[in-house]
Amino acid sequence: MKANTKYQNQTVLVLGLGKSGFNAARLLLKLGAKVTVNDDQEQGDNPQVGQLRELGATVITGSHPLSLFDQDEFAYLFKNPGIRYDNPMVEAAIARDIPVLTEPELAYEVSESPWVSVTGSNGKTTTTTLITLMLNENRQQGQAYAAGNIGNPLSAVVQKATSHDVMVTELSSFQLLGITTVKPKVAVLTNIYEAHLDYHGSRANYVAAKMRLVQKQTADDFFVVNWDLPELRELSHQTKAKVVPFSRLGNSEAGAYVKDGQLWFQQDMIMPVADIKVPGNHNIENALAAIAAAKLMGQSNAAIVSVLTTFTGVKHRMQFVTSYQGRRFYNDSKATNMEATEVALKSFKQPIVLLAGGLDRGFTFEPLLPLLKEHVKAIILYGETKQLLAQTAREARIPVIKIVDQLTDAVPAAYAASASGDVILLSPACASWDQFKTFEERGDVFIKAVQQITE
């Protein structure tokens, strides 16, 4: 970790006591800051509160008291990425010209390692995982660390990463809004679809947040971008970095692409597309993005092939769970929007029994109609959006439509509606926050319910 005196003796407010808040506060204390941590939820016996207090932090829980700004002159506010900018505490900081930042900014400022950073609406975690595996394959010195939105707090990982290592960072649009100096050696943009508009307010704001990833890049850096999406080709003009396309449709041979059933990087043929272990066109795109990033970081073709021929998927993202009585169960709990569910439905030729539903964000589900008609033989619905989804399912003339209260009820109902040769797929098309804290919790509940049937 690099020495950094920027925060020494500075009064800093950390808003939100999640993974990022806890670890950012610990790092700030290590850097000599005077830290106040504030979370609006009562924390009960949370041991992290005691740990931070022992280290010298002030911890205030149960509300967001605006009076904090009268008691201290904060130099910086680091906020949990999920806290919106219309939160009164954030608005108060902005009104006082206090910089509002997120954890990646702090981590980058002390990082000794080069960063390979991945963002996009879908495919971030799979691409981040693939790049990390590729960079670690047959590595002679150092290590590639996966961190950020993938679940490993940046401000913790960065403290052990040296100049011989690589930080492979998954960054969400929420995190990217709070960065000012982050400059990845390789930036990867997988795709952009409609997502998180309730947070960003408009698609234009969402796109602008994503493109903050490249704002500090120079001609010595690289921007790996999906060349099959015209919007992203246009957005590539915003960077000063060298643009490296990836294209499943063969729209460019300047980076990673598919040609004659093979994966290529520039003039190098890497391997047959058919040898990728995880299903779906989206995973071909994820593989191409990872190939480009790995090659730009100097990795060999052999290392890339080794990973792509053995990788079977990331948990909660088109994760194969088990086979039972001729049925194959897949956990795609990370499908928190319609686009991700569309991708999942396109990944299978077998009949699908779909489990879907979740938080109602005010959307209708007409975009799913064609794929529901083509792929889905039965649908089991739960959560706030179950009636809206049922309406779309009826329009798609799905023969079996069943509405239940909970995901735990949906799994046995899906099995009852299935036959040998079917795929039973959890791909909710909605966020999890109506019944679960996270999509990970939702996926774990699904897996446990499947195990109760199959074991």
Count of C-beta atoms within a 10 Å radius of residue 209: 22
Q: What is the pLDDT of residue 124?
A: 93
pLDDT score, position 195: 66
The domain locations on the chain are: 11-101, 104-308, 319-454
Q: Is 123 left (phi over 0), alpha (psi -120 to 50) or beta?
A: left
Alpha carbons within 13 A on the beta-carbon side of 156? 12
Q: How many CB atoms lie within 10 A of CB 296?
A: 20
Burial class (CB in 10 A: 0-12, 13-18, 19+), 408: middle
Helix (H) or strand (E) holding 11: strand 11-15
- Which CATH number does 104-308 carry? 3.40.1190.10
State both tokens at 407.
């995901």
Amino acid in the structure at residue 104? P
The C-alpha atoms of residue 401 and residue 389 are separated, in whole angstroms, by 10
Cα(389)–Cα(429) distance, integer angstroms: 10
Summarize the annotated binding site as residue ranges.
Answer: 120-126
Determine the pLDDT at residue 269: 97
Helix (H, G, I), strand (E, B) or coil at 174: helix
pLDDT of residue 198: 73
Record the tokens describing residue 429, joined without a space. 């098309």
Could you tell me how many residues make up the chain?
A: 455
User: What is the C-alpha to C-alpha distance for residues 272 and 264, in angstroms, rounded to an integer?
Assistant: 9
Residue 223: which residues within 8 A CB-CB, separation 6 or more?
187, 189, 214, 217, 236, 239, 241, 242, 243, 244
Give per-residue burial for 123-146: e unless 16+ CB within 10 Å, then b: bbbbbbbbbbbbbbbeeeeeebbb
pLDDT tens column, 294-337: 999 999 999 999 999 999 888 898 888 999 999 999 999 999 99
Give the pair of three-digit tokens for residue 280: 């779906």
Burial string for 256-274 (b: 16+ CB within 10 Å, else e) reads bbbeeeebbbeeeebbebe
- pLDDT at position 317: 86
Cα–chain center distance at 358 = 18
Point out the annotated binding site for ATP: 120-126
Instruction: Give the sign of the dihedral formed by CA 310, CA 316, CA 321, CA 325.
Output: negative
pTM exceeds 0.75, yes or no: yes
Which class would CATH give 11-101? alpha beta
455 residues of the chain, pLDDT tens digit each? 999 999 999 999 999 999 999 999 999 999 999 999 999 999 888 999 999 999 999 999 999 999 999 999 999 999 999 899 999 999 999 999 999 999 999 999 999 999 999 999 988 999 999 999 999 999 999 999 999 999 899 999 999 999 999 999 999 999 999 999 999 999 999 999 866 767 777 899 999 999 999 999 999 999 999 999 999 999 999 999 999 999 999 999 999 999 999 999 999 999 999 999 888 898 999 999 999 999 999 999 999 999 999 998 888 988 889 999 999 999 999 999 998 899 899 999 999 999 999 999 888 999 999 999 999 999 999 999 999 999 999 999 999 999 999 999 999 999 999 999 999 999 999 999 999 999 999 999 999 999 999 98
CATH fourth-level superfamily of 319-454: Mur ligase, C-terminal domain (3.90.190.20)
Q: Quick one: tokens of 426?
A: 């959890």
